[in-house]
Amino acid sequence: MANRPIAPHLQIWKWGPHMAVSILHRATGDGLAIVGLGVLLWWLGAMASGEAAYTLFQETMGSPVGLVVLVGLSWAFFTHMMSGLRHFVLDIGAGYELDTNKAWSILAPVIAILLTAGFWAVIMLR
């Protein structure tokens, strides 16, 4: 048998923030596609179905569970956006230096949390 290189696997790779952000990017994209699409379709269907259906939608989304879903969706959106911007910069060939990559891997989710908090502060303080 030929002496071939072994493909890297999870026991070989050293986990870092860049891997966590990449996995989080995929998870938030899936969450936005599944949960976000469900909420969007429910909202559109409630608007098209009349006042009673829309009132039910408003009450459900205004409940504590509904607010958790909406805050989670907005967090997923901002996290996916910030990670997407990080990937965009990497795709143009910048940010591959180890310190820069690690710093932006840590900053992307932190900025997303701050954007989510700011977004909901604007909504709640109106």
The DSSP code sequence of 4-70 is PPPPP-TTTSPP-HHHHHHHHHHHHHHHIIIIIHHHHHHHHHHHHH-HHHHHHHHHHHHSHHHHHHH
Determine contact, residues 116/75, Cβ cutoff 8 Å.
yes
Is 87 one of the annotated binding-site residues?
no
Using DSSP's 3-state secondary structure scheme, residue 95 falls into coil
Tell me which amino acid residue 64 is: P
Residues belonging to the binding site for heme are 80
Binding region: 80
